[in-house]
Every structure is written in structure tokens, then in C-alpha cells.
Amino acid sequence: MRIILLQPQVFSPGLSLISADPRRVGMGLLYIAAVLNRAGHDVSVEFATKGNIERLVEKASPEIVGFSVMTPDYPYTKELIKTVKREEPKTNIVLGGYHPTFCAEEVLRDTQTDFVIRGEGENAILQLITALEGKEKISHVRNLSFKKGKEIVHNKTGELVDVDSLPFPAREKVDVPFALINESRGCPHACTFCCIRSFYGGTWRPRKIEHFIAELIYMKEKLGYKRIYIQSDNFLVNPKRIENICKAIIEYGLDDVSYDSPGRIDVLAKNPRLVDLMVEAGWKSMNFGLESGVQEILDRYNKKMTLEQTRKVATKLMDTNIHVGWTFIIGSGNEYDTEAYIQKSVDFLLSIPYDAVALTILTPLPGTPLFQNLQRENRILTYDWKLYDMLHCVYKPKYMSPKKMEEIHSKTLWRIYENGGPTQIIKRALKSFRVNYLSPKDIFGLIQLSLRVYRKGKNFNEVFEFYADKYYEKIEKLCKK
């Protein structure tokens, strides 16, 4: 079959604000492309925009068009679906990803989507194609939701994918700006604001180390990557496994590659020697979910980590010159939504070393316990999914207005940036450049962003709106090439 897999190019605050090439594609699409390619299908992967969607569909003349969709991407994707159906009415449109998984009924009722694949897509897409070829019943396709007249049908959930049976992602199908690799799927933890546990059924499935190392060798020697981001849902789960991975990286001469990975702080707090081993193996950057500087809020998030662990590891990481990034949340969704508690939380963040901070407003994404709780309490203010970008307050805080929460977010972003004064700002910029976290152009972009924020009275949301417009201008030009 002729299949085109599309990644909607929707503005997302972060490095896309300053990046020369903000195009993005998920690893999920690249895995599915590899599986389809192995099965003999004619498959392509493309960056999809409102400006190029007609050309892509006309060129591919596809029998199946697949989209990978995150929650804030959904409104933009709806417009792309309309265009596809107008140009190719008979093509089958398949949606996958986090948002369609948890909002399958809405997607099928509100759009011309033919099928939704819930959860992992590799096995389901092959089974769906077999059914469309008339060799299988649609009702037998696991993980599938579809319309049957006016009824929405949800087929049974199938077995999870054997991660070691998958081919390497089809990176050759698309010009990927960043070198990404998965070391495992899922996470054994159950943070209330995260939907990964629901998506993967609460499992954590690591790849065999030899399989992971083989892909690293391929990425270095065949594709020429010098910096690799390990995009696992949680890389730091099993300390012995991390030790073995690091030793294998050193043994196979892969320690001249720069590595970056996410993870939990508690594992390194209990196993500090891992930090030195990871540095020896080539780690230049690590990112951690700190989320809050108030222990009571962390406990309500079900983080199962302590602030003492965070302070201990933050100091250790800075001693090794690792570039340290934190994710941090404004808001708790409960009685701790007060200015005093937010101030206390931010004060802790500012008291520990950091090189970068991704600051977000608590967002109740579909598929999370947080979403279910706030929905049950009738405290979700809007289902305009484009506002679920973690910059807008889409729920009703108990002790302040949503507008006030957004104002605090803007002020806190500025406090984080200017913390330590000009000397510290310059040190962070130089360190980001030294570990290849930011390019000189990126650093210049940050300076421009900072000046614009300052001129706007430190209101980040106004600046983000400006950059969103510039992003879509840039992305359309890049996707015409």
C-alpha cells in the first residue's frame, strides 16, 4: 500500500523559539515507517503544514494518511485532515499518538478521521492494513477505534510490542534535525500529571543493551551523529542497567559522542557513582523532572522523591560540569495553589544550581489522573486543546484566578533567567555552547528573546504569540524545500 505518515508542525514554546530549524518528528512515526517498510509497503514520512499538505497528498497519492498527534497539535491537525479529505476523499485517515488514544470518540465524531489507533501503533497498523486488504476483519484489529454508522466502536487492546523485535527507526525517510534514540518504553512510576503510564499500561520495557548499542554504533558510524539525545520516557530506572550501558559505550568506543538524557533524580541520589561513570561515557547534559520546590506538592504529584535528593544531586552534577536542565511546574491543582506556596517552590529552585529550566503551568492532559480529578470536580475551564500548551492555565485554581497564575508564570520565567545576575547568565550561555546544547545562533536568539520580553514588560505570553507567528512563517519556508 501507498502510505504517507505526517507530523503536524505546530508551534511549541521551547527551543523552537530560537532554533534555526524547528521542524520536529516523533520517534513513533519513524518506528512505524520502519515496520511498514520491512513489510514491503511504499511509505514516506513528511513534516505537515497548512501550506504544504495539498502538495504532499498530491505527490504521494496515498491509500492511507497517518498523523501523530499531541494534545495541543489537535486543532491544527483537524484543518490538515479537512484538506486531505477534500483532495483525496477515498483515502483512509488514521490518527495515533497521545491525544487520539485518550480522546478517540471526540476525534472520530469531530473529524473525518476513519481510524484511531490507541497506544502503540506498530502491530495495529500492520493488522489494519491486512484488514483493509480484505484479509482480516476490522473488528479483529487490536487497539483500533472506528465509526460504524453512528456508533463508535473500540476494539480490544492488544499485546504490547516486543521492543527488541523492532527495526531501527526509519531516519532516512525524513531530514531529522535532531539525533534521537529510544532506550526503553514506558515508565514504572505514576505521576498524576503524566499520561505515559496510561498509554503503556503501566509497563517499563527496556531494550536489550546489545540492541541499543548496535543502534548507537549505526547512528555514529553510518549516520555521522556526534550528539545523541536518549528520548526514553525514563532513562534512569535501573542503576545496574545504566552502569552496564555506560561500560558498553566505553568498550565500543562510543564515548566520543555527546549524550543527553532525561530521568529521575532519586536514582542518582541513591547511586551517586553513576554520575561519574556517565560523564566518562560521554554524557554532557541531563534533564530532570524537579516539578516543585515544595515537598507536599511533590507528594501530591506522587513523584516519590525528596527535595534533599534534588539538592544533593544538583550539587554533584555541577561539580562534574554536566549541563543540568530542570522541568518545573507552576500550580498544583489543590490547596497549594496560593502565591505563598508558589513563592516557596520557586525559592527552592533558585537555591540550587541549574543551566536551563523548562517552566510550565500545570496542565491537565487527557489520560492523566490530574485530568480525571479536575474533570470530576468541574474545574476544567476549556477544552480548546490549542491552549493545552502548558503556557495557559486551563483549570480553575482554588485560591487565585487563571489569569493570576499566568502572570506568576511570566514573572517566574524572568526570575529564573536573571537569577545570579549578568555574570551567571553569561556562564550559563557559555556552558550551553561548550557542551553543544546551544549553538552561537541559538544564544543570539536567546538574547533577542530576552530583549523582547523586557520591552514587553516581562510578559512572556505576548512574546510567545509574536514568536508563534514567526515560527509559522519559518516552518512554511523550510517545508517547501
What is the CATH classification number for the domain harbouring 33? 3.40.50.280
With respect to residue 478, please indicate whether it lies within any of the assigned structural domains.
Answer: no
Largest Cα–Cα distance of the chain, in whole Å?
67
- 299 shares its domain with 389: yes
pLDDT digit string (tens) for the chain, length 481 residues: 999 999 999 987 765 665 777 888 989 999 999 999 999 999 999 999 999 999 999 999 999 999 999 999 999 999 999 999 999 999 999 999 999 999 999 999 999 999 999 999 999 999 999 999 999 999 999 999 999 998 999 999 999 999 999 999 999 999 876 799 999 999 999 999 999 999 998 899 999 999 999 999 999 999 999 999 998 999 999 999 999 999 999 999 999 999 999 989 999 999 999 999 999 999 999 999 999 999 999 999 999 999 999 999 999 998 888 899 999 999 999 999 999 999 999 999 999 999 989 999 999 999 999 999 999 999 999 999 999 999 899 999 999 999 999 999 988 988 898 888 878 877 887 777 777 766 666 666 666 666 666 666 666 667 777 778 888 888 898 888 6
- 143 shares its domain with 242: no
With respect to residue 54, please indicate whether it lies within any of the assigned structural domains.
Answer: yes
How many domains, the chain? 2
Burial 246-269 (b: 16+ CB within 10 A, else e): bebbeeeebbebbbbbbbbbbbbb
- In order, the DSSP letters of 139-188 are GG-TTEEEEETTEEEEPPP-PPP-GGGSPPP-GGGS--SS-EE-SEEE-S
Domain range enclosing 72: 2-149
On whether the pTM is more than 0.85, the answer is yes
C-alpha grid cell, residue 266: 532519586
- 354 shares its domain with 424: yes
Cα separation, 58 vs 248, in Å, equals 46
